[in-house]
């Protein structure tokens, strides 16, 4: 995997914290800066990876083995990296991605209890050295996120999980952010949308300034 001239930004967080809403805000920020970029998401981002997303999110009667779920996440990611993310970064485009491997640590690791070492092994296999340059974590109390998300249609397979699962997800995101403060920025998503976007803009300005000084 060749190292990139573009920047790789990921947006993470639990259910209903506002990722989709704020991806649009971040994209318009990138446009205002005149930064050539693509917007994408995980699981998904290519036709094959979107098919895998469908397999992963559809509620089903059969229990899904945790290794099956983990491998499907990384299968989708391998395709997404090869077809979309790495080529864009190599062209010098910035990549804005709604969820990435931090979601695997949070949901499969924190939520399902898969060993973090197992996830790290697959991360190294599939991504080699590639890691996001900036990860924006939208953080809000679980109950508040679930309340916001509940206004939408049918819950997917993950949204059917219990409160404790989402508490573990949140805790895992926060503990990863603490361990690698250079990569992560936590934004308080319990605030009004206007304030969340002011905070996001500030984080992006700081990141841009640091990138220019590299
Ligand atoms: N998953 C995984 O397990 N492992 C992995 O490696 C990866 C993913 C990559 C699909 O993700 C699932 O895949 C996900 C984890 C798993 N679990 N689930 N479900 P997804 O990103 O497609 O789906 P999601 O997490 O369910 O996203 P979401 O529920 O769509 O939430 P959101 O995008 O963060 O929220 P939103 O749609 O922008 O906002 C929800 C509502 O709140 C909406 O009405 C907004 O207008 C409102 N909102 C947003 N912000 C505010 C503020 N600040 N104030 C008031 N109201 C607000």
Structural domains of the chain ordered from first start = 8-212 (3.40.50.300)
For tokens 């509940």, name the residue.
150
Give pLDDT, residue 150. Answer: 84
Half-sphere exposure of 191 (CA within 13 A, CB side): 13
Q: How many helices and strands (H and E) does the chain possess?
A: 9, 5
Whole-model pTM: value is 0.96
Q: Which residues of 19-44 are buried (b: 16+ CB within 10 A; e: fewer)?
A: beebbeebeebbeeeebebbbbbbbb
Measured by CA distance, the residue closest to atom 42 of ligand 1 is 148
pLDDT of residue 118: 98
Atom of ligand 1 at shortest range from CA of 17: 34
- pLDDT (tens digit, 9 = 90+) per residue, 39-78? 999 999 999 999 999 999 999 999 999 999 999 999 999 9
CB 121 within 8 A of CB 34: no
- What is the predicted pLDDT for the residue at 90? 95
Do 100 and 56 touch, CB atoms closer than 8 A? Answer: no
Regions of the chain where pLDDT drops below 70: 1-4, 153
3-state SS, 175-205, equals HHHHHCCCCEEEEECCCCHHHHHHHHHHHHH
Q: Which residue ranges have their beta carbon within 6 Å of ligand 1? A: 13, 15-21, 42-43, 57, 73, 98-99, 103-104, 107-108, 148-149, 151, 156, 158-159, 189, 192-193, 196
Decide if 35 contacts 94 (C-beta within 8 A). yes
Q: What is the pLDDT of residue 4?
A: 63
């Amino acid at each position: 995997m060749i190292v990139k001239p573009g920047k790789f930004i990921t947006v993470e967080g639990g259910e209903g914290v506002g990722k989709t809403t704020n991806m649009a805000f971040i994209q318009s920020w990138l446009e205002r800066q005149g930064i050539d970029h693509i917007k994408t998401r995980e699981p998904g981002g290519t036709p094959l990876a979107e098919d895998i997303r469908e397999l992963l999110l559809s509620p089903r009667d059969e229990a899904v083995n945790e290794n099956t779920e983990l491998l499907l996440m990384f299968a989708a990611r391998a395709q997404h990296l090869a077809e979309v993310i790495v080529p864009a970064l190599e062209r010098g485009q910035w990549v804005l991605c709604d969820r990435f491997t931090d979601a695997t640590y949070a949901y499969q690791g924190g939520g399902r209890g898969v060993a973090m070492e197992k996830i790290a092994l697959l991360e190294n296999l599939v991504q080699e050295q590639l890691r996001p340059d900036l990860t924006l974590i939208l953080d809000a109390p679980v109950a508040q996120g679930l309340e916001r998300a509940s206004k939408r249609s049918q819950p997917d397979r993950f949204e059917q999980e219990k409160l404790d699962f989402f508490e573990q997800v949140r805790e895992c995101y926060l503990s990863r952010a603490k361990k690698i403060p250079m990569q992560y920025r936590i934004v308080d998503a319990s605030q009004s949308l206007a304030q969340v976007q002011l905070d996001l803009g500030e984080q992006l300005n700081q990141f841009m300034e640091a990138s220019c000084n590299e």
